[in-house]
Amino acid sequence: MILKNIGLAFSFSFFAFISPVLLGKTLQDNLIKFSPIIRTDGAKSTSKVFIGANRDNATTPSQSFFDNEKVSINGIIEPESDDLGKDGSLFAVMRKQEGSSKIFYALNQDGVWEKWNGSLKNLPIYKEIIGLSAKIEVPIYSGIINAKEVNIYLGYSTVSEGSKPIIHVNSSPMKIKIDPMSERKYEIQIANYTEYDTELLFAATKSVYDSAYDVAKRNVRTFVWPIGDYIADASEKARSYGLPFSSNSVVMSDIKREEIINDINEWVEKRCSLTELKKQEKDLDYLKEAHSYMIENGLDASTAPIPCYNVGMGFIAANPEKDFDGVIYVAAHETYHNVQMDLELFSCRDRREAPGASPHRWLAEGAAHYAARMAMANTTSEKSGLQMILEDAYLAYQGGETELNTFQGGAALALMVLRGDILESEILTASMWTACQSQDIYNENNPVIRYATDNWFQIDLDTSNGVYSFKPSVLP
């Protein structure tokens, strides 16, 4: 049987394309469901295939990457109920666009992608399974993709006595586009002036940024520097610069302070024109004064200023009370604020700040908290993102912190995800922060929002194993 004539390729083009659906009802599930699934014997298949691709350390799927990025592709197969317990084989096929040619590759049992001529008789087996289970996780690919485009097919087969193998496979492929790095318009950077590990700091911030890359249209540079012990609460002058942070002792040398001030100012000057600064109601000389005051007075800054719409920054002062995990968390948290795009749109901002507008601070801070914890779980922490979010909220509530804010908002969003009221991808991609959705959808008039904000604290701790979970009564 030849693929291009009557086999899988016939089926791939014969069935109408059905848009993939993002699964977000659990915190772990970020794959894409493909439908319909076809069988090579022509019968209807009730099996399911899920495939997802993401940037290295990103927490959300994407279908567009650059040619220097490491891409991870994973899948899940859920066989038909009649096939459970039967012996079977797994198959993974990649069709690459190489120049003007489209070439098929198949993954073999050695984990090598080998060229495939399209004949089902010669289709390499990726893995043989003794007794198919209800859910089979399949790592498909990890590395840089050297092609303009790849299409991914994933399937399994069973054999009945005296018959040919019956292959179940997604009819519409997972399409992944690869663009030249030279076309990348936006990037994230880090300037670390502390002795903390730059690579780990960058991994967490990049995880947040890359997860939202398809939505975020902003260059971001995060600045991290050391400060000493607390001296005094925020001064009136600090507040006048929009920097309501306490002053601490200065521990950087004169040369280092000058270096970071110049670094911050250069980032703004090279990327924000005077016209763009004026649009954002910002003055370059005023910004320079603020940056200098912040560094020279040891302000305990944790903020994400946006000097112009497509340029963002993260300011993180590492004081002696913050451990490395705390610094990583703040860096990831402030990175998310940089990709909440409509926070800096005047049309959305005016509505949020209008009298009687729905409160939004808990939502903005809760979403940043959620994304930061998920990024840490994906890069530096041994705990799951959900466990960290629930632990933070549980301890806050036990400590009498009942007003909606960062930890409480993160738990409210986690409850919404687990109830199926919001897709996790809407949070992590920051797509909920476009088109003024924070006012139009995620407002206090929405019963879903009201339920989450009324029940975020309904969390139990199993003292036998230290596991946090929402009470069954608030889950579907």
Mean pLDDT (whole number) for 421-432: 92
Q: Which of 19, 9, 32, 12 is nearest to 423 (CA)?
A: 32
Look at residue 401 in the predicted model and tell me its pLDDT: 97
Q: Over 60: is that where the pLDDT of 24 sits?
A: no
Cis ω for the linkage preceding 36 (within 30 of 0): yes
Mean pLDDT (whole number) for 254-276: 93
Look at residue 172 in the predicted model and tell me its pLDDT: 92
Give the bridge partners for 149, in sequence order.
Answer: 97, 177
User: Pick the residue with more confidence: 297 or 322?
Assistant: 297
Look at residue 198 in the predicted model and tell me its pLDDT: 97
What pLDDT band is residue 29 in, cutting at 50, 70 and 90?
A: low
For the chain, give the mean pLDDT: 88
Q: Which of 156, 10, 135 is nearest to 92 (CA)?
A: 156
Q: Which two tokens stand for residue 156?
A: 């399994």
Look at residue 162 in the predicted model and tell me its pLDDT: 61
pTM: 0.78
What pLDDT band is residue 25 in, cutting at 50, 70 and 90?
A: very low
Characterize the bridge pairing of strands 70-78 and 48-55.
antiparallel
User: Pick the residue with more confidence: 21 or 266?
Assistant: 266
Top mean-pLDDT range of 33-42, 59-68, 171-180, 192-201 = 192-201
What percent of the chain clears pLDDT 70, i.e. is strictly above it?
92
What is the maximal distance between C-alpha atoms in the chain? 85
Q: Identify residue 77 by its one-letter amino acid code.
A: I
Judged by DSSP in three states, 137 sits in: strand
Strand order in the sheet with 32-34: 21-22, 32-34, 48-55, 70-78, 136-144
What are 239-253's pLDDT values in tens digits? 999 999 999 999 999
Q: Which of 282, 252, 250, 279 is nearest to 268 (CA)?
A: 282
The CA–CA distances, whole Å, from 136 to 47, 107, 127, 158 equal: 12, 16, 11, 14
Residues 6+ apart with CB under 8 A from 142: 70, 71, 72, 73
Taking the C-alpha atoms of residue 440 and residue 362, their distance in angstroms, rounded to an integer, is 16
Mean pLDDT (whole number) for 391-403: 97
Mean pLDDT (whole number) for 207-215: 90
User: Pick the residue with more confidence: 267 or 283?
Assistant: 267
Hey, what domains does the chain have and what are their CATH numbers?
8-180 (2.60.40), 185-339 (no CATH), 343-476 (no CATH)
Q: Of the given ranges (23-32, 150-159, 317-326, 358-367), which has the lowest mean pLDDT? A: 23-32
What pLDDT band is residue 228 in, cutting at 50, 70 and 90?
A: very high
What pLDDT band is residue 21 in, cutting at 50, 70 and 90?
A: very low
Mean pLDDT (whole number) for 95-123: 90
Neighbours of 122 (CB within 10 A): 12
What are 130-166's pLDDT values in tens digits? 999 999 999 999 999 988 899 999 999 997 666 778 8
Look at residue 245 in the predicted model and tell me its pLDDT: 97
Q: Over 70: is that where the pLDDT of 17 sits?
A: no
What are 330-378's pLDDT values in tens digits? 999 999 999 999 888 878 888 887 777 766 889 999 999 999 999 999 8
What pLDDT band is residue 183 in, cutting at 50, 70 and 90?
A: confident
Taking the C-alpha atoms of residue 85 and residue 102, their distance in angstroms, rounded to an integer, is 36
Taking the C-alpha atoms of residue 137 and residue 155, their distance in angstroms, rounded to an integer, is 12
Look at residue 160 in the predicted model and tell me its pLDDT: 67
